[in-house]
Amino acid sequence: MSDHYVKVKVQLEQMKSFGENAEKEGVPTEEQAPVSSPPASLSPDPSSITIAGRDASDTSITCKQGLNRVKSRSKAGKEDKNSCGKHISDLPLHGNVVSAHVGKNLNRLGHDRTLHIKGTGRILQGKLETNGNYVTVHPSKNIQDARREEGFKLARKRRPVTVDSSKAKTSLEALKLSIKQLKWKEFPLGRRTACDIYWHGVSFHDNENIVSGQVNKFPGMIEMLRKINLSRAVRTMQDLFPEEYDFYPRSWILPEEYQQFSTQMRMVKENDATVNPTFIVKPDGGSQGDGIYLIRDPSDLKVMVGSQAKQAVVQEYIQKPLLIDKLKFDIRLYVLVKSMEPLEIYIAKEGLTRFCTEPYQEPSQKNLSHVFMHLTNYSLNVHSGNFVHSDSQNTGSKRTLSSVLYRLAAKGVDIKKVWSDIIALVIKTVIAVVPELKVYYQADIPPGKPGPTCFQILGFDILLMKNLKPVLLEVNSNPSMRIEHEQEVAPGVFEYVPSPVDEEVKVGVIRDTLRLMDPSHKKPSISHLRPGGFEHGEEIPMEAETQERCQDEGGALPSLCLKQVYPKYTKQFNYLRLVERIAVLFIRFLGVKGNMRLGPTAFRTFIRTCKLSNSNFTMASVDILYIDITRRWSGSMSDSREAGMGLQAFVEAFFYMAGRRFKSLVLKDQVWSLLEQCEAQLESQLGVEDRRSASCSRALPRAIKTQTLGLANPLLSSPAPLRRAASQDYRLHQRLKPRTLRANVEN
């Protein structure tokens, strides 16, 4: 064994023990990275691999082994692999560590007769709400015994979980395989009676008549993840937390920010003539690289966009990406938003990497139009003569993430750091889009109507810079779940052939998403069990539960390839959720159910209720502020179905008022202070109202009182810390409303 391999082995061992410690201590920055075992076919020679940024003499990673062109293949056996295509025996997986650790704790807790949540010292018992359902916790029993008992009961009674796959579109193949592995029941043509799970290929609205069960799309996700909206949401967070959100390249929204863009560029160049930045222009509705081009000067944009001035994002181009085999590549990571209330995020331990097919050179006027050099999209590169379809996960133009991380680890890269940076990027991005998603959610699923709950798999596209810093390129609300690819089997004859790499990764992601959403195994998550749970990071024994579950099911399913990162790392990221608190206020004052915009009267009511006007900021100034901001935003919103002030405009108004009131503070503290004030005002008002109403309507049931008082939002009827923590308990229901969507579907 070479020195080199010894080093790698030591690193993997360290990662293992690190994973154990991190799990025990809840350390967020030290995640178990998804590393595969050394691929048998790959003999990385340290001398031929150089990490750019570590060795200045070479800016690329070069593998001696050339890229082999491989034709289509047969399906590989998978019995002894885990869901993400890794041999379980190769690497001590996180899940095993978690199970053992958590199991031990649970047993001990069981003997204590009460459940003490680490770090809170709270005692939990009785009925608790989970995603809208009430469950009973047995405080006096050993938790695991209770679960096992429950599991047996369920197994006896259980009917298979039903899945409506009639709208699954291109994810159908992977979905079918997943359902089969789980021994669930598929309804490919839909079903008259309700199904447990509805799998949609595009949007929440693919099927308009769902009143129960779970749908694999959130309303509004497509809109929120369009390039402009995502850029706006991240920019708001960059204004508040510039350092935390430095993973997203500087972006301008076209055409409205064209002037800003060209002025800033001119100033940059005037300050330093040697600076020669490149920009990438991405049409708002585009996907798969469609309509994307590079420019070096704002004036190129004018020429290229012309008078039509299409909506687009122009973004700083990352000129020095990390290279492997001299090629640029990006990472496709699958992320499950399991629930928005409470926020629950899972990351797939395995992902894909997509490689360019022409060796990379820094952008120059000559190579700007070389798409195979600059754009990593599979849909583009597959048409290059250099594209390599490979059966192997660690060669070819599409590889597993773990095989790439292994290559990097082999060269001594601290991949634990890379992985934890990626996790942080994902959590922060989801936190950025959740506020507006909540507005969409309450519009489509208003309180009082029966409706489904939602979850969604997102596709994060991430680029590693030469210095190994991950950069967010975009988030796809409909990541391609195809497990086959088009291939030229004879000259001019194309046919779909199975793609082993896609199958390994995507079937694992879908199957394990389904396992997590299994309605017969809904369990209270720790964040539900714990009032004020946002304040405390906590380990949730999902993997242990699932393994138990597999035995109940009599199956031999591998351990989950999805890893919970939120609420697990709540402690580290919760402070970023300021805009979400603003969104909760916004929703509180929307008034008419189903609205997404605040009218002038509602805005005034908000100002009055929260006591934000005074002699320096009169109601007349409030009206002017409303008109001013709303007019500006209505011009820039592509989706202006309703008149009034949308969330983004409201956030701007909120920032403005916070700035006026708390001049000496930095923006995030200004906003935090104003939020505290508003929430305290609402709370005290609700207290008064509650007392008043209690005296005149003692006999009214609580639900009716709540409605009478306009307190549909329980956030505002609870003590401040709990209220903030428990936006998760805010239950939203459905209003079925057809939408015309320009969907970004990667299929």
Number of H helices, E strands in the chain: 23, 23
Q: List the interface residues with ligand ADP, window 231-250 (CB under 6 A).
A: 249
Question: Given the complex with ligand ADP, which of 53 and 600 has the nearer CB atom?
Answer: 53
Q: According to DSSP H, which parts of 618-666 are helical? A: 619-636, 647-661
Q: How is residue 72 written in tokens?
A: 């289509």
Question: What contacts 331, CB < 8 A, 6 or more positions away?
Answer: 351, 352, 353, 401, 404, 422, 460, 461, 462, 463, 464, 470
Question: Given the complex with ligand ADP, which of 170 and 734 has the nearer CB atom?
Answer: 170
Residue in 634, 610, 640, 633 with CA at minimum distance from that of residue 622: 610
Sign (positive or negative) of CA dihedral 199, 201, 202, 206: negative
Question: Given the complex with ligand ADP, which of 34 and 249 has the nearer CB atom?
Answer: 249
Question: Given the complex with ligand ADP, which of 102 and 280 has the nearer CB atom?
Answer: 280
Question: Given the complex with ligand ADP, which of 443 and 464 has the nearer CB atom?
Answer: 464
How many chain residues interact with ligand ADP (CB under 6 A)? 20
Residue in 192, 213, 215, 184 with CA at minimum distance from that of residue 202: 215
- Residue 505 C-beta: closest distance to ligand ADP, Å: 17
Residue in 703, 60, 568 with CA at minimum distance from that of residue 361: 60
Q: How far is CA 312 from CA 73, 309, 463, in A?
A: 40, 9, 20
Question: Given the complex with ligand ADP, which of 28 and 249 has the nearer CB atom?
Answer: 249
Question: Given the complex with ligand ADP, which of 318 and 647 has the nearer CB atom?
Answer: 318
- Residue 698 C-beta: closest distance to ligand ADP, Å: 58
Contact flag: residue 439 with ligand ADP (CB under 6 A): no
- Residue 474 C-beta: closest distance to ligand ADP, Å: 4
Q: In whole angstroms, what is the distance from residue 581 CA to residue 492 CA? A: 56
Question: Given the complex with ligand ADP, which of 289 and 359 has the nearer CB atom?
Answer: 289
The amino acid present at 632, given as its one-letter code, is R
Question: What contacts 389, CB < 8 A, 6 or more positions away?
Answer: 69, 70, 71, 72, 396, 397, 485, 487, 497, 499
Give the per-residue contact string, 556-585, with ligand ADP (x = CB under 6 A; - = no).
------------------------------
| Percent helix, percent strand, percent coil in the chain, to nearest 5 | 45, 15, 40
Question: Given the complex with ligand ADP, which of 218 and 372 has the nearer CB atom?
Answer: 372
Q: List the interface residues with ligand ADP, window 361-380 (CB under 6 A).
A: 375-377
Q: How is residue 739 written in tokens?
A: 């939408």
Which residue from 163, 422, 473, 475 is in contact with ligand ADP, where contact means CB under 6 A? Answer: 473
Window contacting ligand ADP (CB under 6 A); options: 284-292, 333-341, 394-402, 448-456: 284-292
Task: Kindly state the greatest CA–CA separation across the chain.
Answer: 84
Which residue from 85, 220, 286, 298 is in contact with ligand ADP, where contact means CB under 6 A? Answer: 286
Question: Given the complex with ligand ADP, which of 253 and 473 has the nearer CB atom?
Answer: 473
Tokens 């900021």 -> residue: 617
The DSSP string of 522-560 is: ----HHHHSTTGGGS-----HHHHHHHHHHHTT--PPPP
Which residue from 23, 186, 284, 461 is in contact with ligand ADP, where contact means CB under 6 A? Answer: 461
Window contacting ligand ADP (CB under 6 A); options: 141-149, 289-297, 418-426, 522-530: 289-297
The angle that helices 647-661 and 619-636 make with each other, rounded to 10 degrees, is 140
Window contacting ligand ADP (CB under 6 A); options: 178-186, 287-295, 623-631, 729-737: 287-295
- Residue 290 C-beta: closest distance to ligand ADP, Å: 6
Q: How is residue 39 written in tokens?
A: 């691929």
Question: Given the complex with ligand ADP, which of 474 and 580 has the nearer CB atom?
Answer: 474
Contact flag: residue 287 with ligand ADP (CB under 6 A): yes
- Residue 22 C-beta: closest distance to ligand ADP, Å: 31
Q: How is residue 202 written in tokens?
A: 């595009």
- Residue 329 C-beta: closest distance to ligand ADP, Å: 8
Which residue from 15, 292, 405, 408 is in contact with ligand ADP, where contact means CB under 6 A? Answer: 292
Q: In whole angstroms, what is the distance from residue 471 CA to residue 87 CA? A: 29
Q: List the interface residues with ligand ADP, window 253-282 (CB under 6 A).
A: 280, 282
Q: List the interface residues with ligand ADP, window 317-356 (CB under 6 A).
A: 317-318, 330
Question: Given the complex with ligand ADP, which of 171 and 570 has the nearer CB atom?
Answer: 171
The neighbouring-strand residues paired with 453 are 214
Contact flag: residue 427 with ligand ADP (CB under 6 A): no
Window contacting ligand ADP (CB under 6 A); options: 128-136, 313-321, 505-513, 560-568: 313-321
Residue in 300, 299, 280, 297 with CA at minimum distance from that of residue 289: 280
Q: Which residues bind ligand ADP (CB under 6 A)?
A: 249, 280, 282, 286-290, 292, 315, 317-318, 330, 375-377, 461, 463, 473-474
